[in-house]
Structure 1
Amino acid sequence: MNEGIGRRGVHDKNGMTHPNAALIERFYEAFQRLDVDAMAACYASDVTFGDPVFGELHGAEVSDMWRMLVSRAQELTLAFSHVAADDAGGSAHWVASYVFSQTGRTVVNPVDARFVFRDGLIVEHRDRFDLWRWASQALGAKGALFGWTPFAQNAIRAQARHGLAAWRARNA
């Protein structure tokens, strides 16, 4: 469900939707439909993405990450809100709910996103969320007990990066 329409920053002083706010909305609406091609069309070819699980990704790695995640998605629902943007940057809040395929556990992950724009496209996308909270949900007791430690968080990142590399090699 898109809850962002009409929130501060989506419309300018003349009541028009800022083009970059509309771009963010298009991105998340495509995500809701699991349409990774439409999501990728919102990104510049040299986009940079960062989050607590995958770390820093560049260019085609970003769209491939979304392709991999969507291909593995089980019972994925997504809601977004608080879309705000101007000529240079923007933000949104989104919540993904899904079954983590490796454990069968339900995850509800609230995320704060920041964007940088260039030439009508997203050139930088940063997602922030609590990795310990995510690990607690996705991995159960082990994640709750150890998910806050740098060792466990680095292991989660290494596994995610390895999974993405393997997925990219299979789908090249």
Structure 2
Amino acid sequence: MSNRDQIHKFYTALSAGDSNEMVACYHETISFQDPVFGLLEGKRANKMWEMLLSKNTENTRFTFSGIEATTEIGMAKWEAEYYYGKRKVINKVKAEFKFKDGKIIEHIDTFDMWKWTQQAFGATGYLLGWTPFMKKKIRKTVNKKLDRFIEKNPA
């Protein structure tokens, strides 16, 4: 399977809500990073996707485009549309990948954190979402949620 196909398979699985198929695209020593969770490695990165997809509703939608890949690196654009509590969030993400042994070994998602906090938290996100304090608080909160999810779902 080509690296481009591997990225396509990953996002097709995301769109279908299939975290197992997503994780099958990752190398066992995966390194994932984004503005919300920070750096996650190995099984912790895998569990993050499982946790996020376990919260999918009929109002959750993922789309992807612009997949490009060489033998070493790849990129794609994807968009998540979902509700964070009662607030609708549309998050536009740029993804970059590195590959090893035919699998994704590094995955870095970038997006406008301040824009995300404005959508997710309203006025509070607008006023504070750009601050290091708010970013740190969000990262700490989501990683605690991930810890609890892993404790309840260790396998």
TM bucket normalised to smaller: over 0.9
Pairing 1:1-172 to 2, within 5 Å after superposition: 19-74=2-57, 75-100=59-84, 103-172=85-154
**Deviation string, structure 1 residues 25-84 (Cα, Å, up to 9, x no partner):** 000000000011100000011100000000000101111000100111232101111100
4+ aligned runs moved over 4 Å, structure 1: none
Report deviation, 1:104: 1.6
Tell me how far apart the structure 2 counterparts of residues 81 and 118 of structure 1 sit (CA, whole Å): 23
Tell me how far apart the structure 2 counterparts of residues 131 and 72 of structure 1 sit (CA, whole Å): 21
Tell me how far apart the structure 1 counterparts of residues 36 and 16 of structure 2 sit (CA, whole Å): 23
3-state DSSP of counterpart to 1:163: helix
Identity across the alignment (%):
41
Instruction: Provide TM-score, normalisation by structure 1.
Output: 0.87
Q: Show structure 1 runs of 5+ residues with no match.
A: 1-17
**Deviation string, structure 1 residues 9-39 (Cα, Å, up to 9, x no partner):** xxxxxxxxx8100110000000000011100
Aligned residues: 153
Q: Show structure 2 runs of 5+ residues with no match.
A: none
Tell me how far apart the structure 2 counterparts of residues 155 and 73 of structure 1 sit (CA, whole Å): 24
What root-mean-square deviation, in Å, do the aligned CA atoms of Structure 1 and Structure 2 show?
Answer: 0.9
Instruction: Provide TM-score, normalisation by structure 2.
Output: 0.96
Which amino acid is the alignment partner of residue 125 of structure 2? G
Q: Which has the larger radius of gyration?
A: 1
